[in-house]
Amino acid sequence: MIEVKGVNKSFGDLDVLKGINAVFEPGRVNLIIGQSGSGKSVLAKCIVGLHEVNTGEILYDGRNFTRMNRNERKEVRKEIGMLFQGSALFDSLTVEENVMFPLSMFTKMSKEEMRERANFCLDRVNLTNRNHLLPAECSGGMQKRIGIARAIAMNPKYLFCDEPNSGLDPRTSIVIDNLIKEITYEYNMTTIVITHDMNSVIEIGDHILFIYDGEKWWEGSKEEILKTDNPEINDFVYAAEFMKQLKGKLGS
Amino acid sequence: MKVIFNIGRYFIMLKYVFSRPEKFRIYKNRIFDEIEIIGINSIPIVALLSVFMGAVITLQTAANMDSPLLPVETVGYITRQSTILEFSPTIISLILAGKIGSNIASEVGTMRVTEQIDALEIMGVNSLGYLVLPKVVAGLITFPVIVILSMVLSILGGLLAAVQSGLCSQNDYIKGLRYYFYESDVTYGLIKPFFFAFIITTVASFYGYYTKGGALDVGRSSTQAVVYSSITILLTNYFLTQLILL
């Protein structure tokens, strides 16, 4: 479980996060949604420690991450898997080497064991016989799947996905969404997905946090977000014509 | 203010670069990779430049020696001294600051803007140690070797130019090479590349690592890396010369 308590973050005079409180429980997909520039990516980066918070606390299963020193944080980070918006695969390494990378850094596995684990993770994301390709030779959807395989290689307790569907076609987006959902349930991970894709909200949103202008504006399930009367949320959720029609049907 | 901020940040970066590596085996493999990139891949350009540099020094010296009181062997002597003391250690390092410095800054900068460095940090890897330390070690190993190679090729280039132009015979040139030869001159010439290797690899990594933005900013970082490492090399060269020779 990840707890966020009263987190404030500013860059110079600009207050990006204003007293955010949230609890992300394991075994379900937690979504952080909001418009571009609302502060959702900054919140995620604060949670994983890529940005330092100004005030507030972040707790990983009760362990206060904000008060930890560099070495203590490194230990927590070994329990974190992260899928980046642009996949962030290492260009010079092959698909297999990318997945094996965290294993080679932090385990005492033999090369054969690491290869076995990498193949297992790649199989899990439905990527077989692509081990020797370079990331540049893979499609966007494949890169995301490799990113997920790398993120789960160390059996993480916490999984972060930063806009996992950006740049993907709707069909591939659903595949990636379902993969994230299946892996979360299978390994009982605390998963946090940052997105502004409404398809993802409807597809996998067990618990949704709506960020508006750096504040936690709303929190609930995917069923609740479709029925809420909150104008800011409605502006966001029903921005597309298709969603407006859906709302009409739900209303009737 | 920004200069002071950057100097402070640079030294803080060095602290993390030299912190204990996670796994020596991985670092060892990375050092070998970097030796290839920084050292072996630089040999062709260094060889070409050195031969022509030596040849031009010889021609210039021979062509400008008007006084009949100066023995013709002086050509070999001046070529040797210029090459060992300045041209091979300093000029070659300045050229490598352009080649290697821009390469390092753009590589690390691209890793920064494509979130690969964030990925390393999230995994719990000391990204500065993992990325920069192997480059520094590879630079410290390869630069002196490259400079020795440059010295040899430059002197040979001078010999070729002297003989081919007929300005100085082979015997006279070699005789000049042996004039007042002090081993300390070579030592001086080989101390400098250690400093320059350190400067190029760390300054370029610094500008790459702290790149913010996108492709344009990577290009900007790459330029800054070359400019600032060149300036630092020139300043260090001046102080080292004063410190060692005087």
The ipTM of this complex is: 0.84
The pair phi, psi for residue A55, each rounded to 5°, is -140, 165
Q: Which of A74, A90, A105 sits opposite B23 (nearest CB)?
A: A105
For tokens 């015997």, what's the residue? B171
Does residue A155 sit at the B interface (CB-CB below 8 Å)? no
Give the minimum alpha-carbon distance from B172 to chain A in angstroms, rounded to a whole number: 52
What confidence tens digit (pLDDT) does each residue in A12-56 have? 889 999 999 999 988 889 999 988 888 888 999 999 988 999 999
CA pair distance A162, A159, nearest whole angstrom:
10
Using the Cβ of A46 and the Cβ atoms of chain B, whether some distance falls under 8 Å is answered with: no
Q: How far is B111 from chain A (nearest CA, A)?
A: 8
Chain B partners within 8 Å of A78 (Cβ): 123-124
CB neighbours of A19 closer than 8 A, spacing ≥ 6? Answer: A6, A7, A8, A56, A215
pLDDT at B217: 93
Strand A207-212 vs strand A215-220: parallel, antiparallel, or unpaired? antiparallel
- B115 to A74: CB separation less than 8 angstroms, yes or no: no
pLDDT at position A64 over 90: yes
For chain B, 246 residues long, give each residue's pLDDT as a single digit of tens. 788 999 999 999 999 999 877 778 888 889 999 999 999 999 999 999 999 999 999 999 988 887 788 888 899 999 999 999 999 999 999 999 999 999 999 999 999 999 999 999 988 889 999 999 999 999 999 999 999 999 999 999 999 999 998 888 999 999 999 988 888 889 989 999 999 999 999 999 999 999 998 889 999 999 999 999 999 999 999 999 998 877
Q: Which residues of A touch B116 (CB under 8 A)?
A: 88-91
What is the spatial distance between Cα A164 and Cα A145, in angstroms, rounded to a whole number?
10
Q: What is the mean pLDDT of residues A128-143?
A: 89
A50/B26 touch (CB, cutoff 8 Å), yes or no: no
Reported as a single tens digit per residue, the pLDDT across A197-238 is 888 888 888 899 999 888 888 888 888 887 778 778 777 777
**Which amino acid would we find at residue B201?**
T
The pair of structure tokens assigned to A186 is 């299978």
pLDDT of residue A130: 85
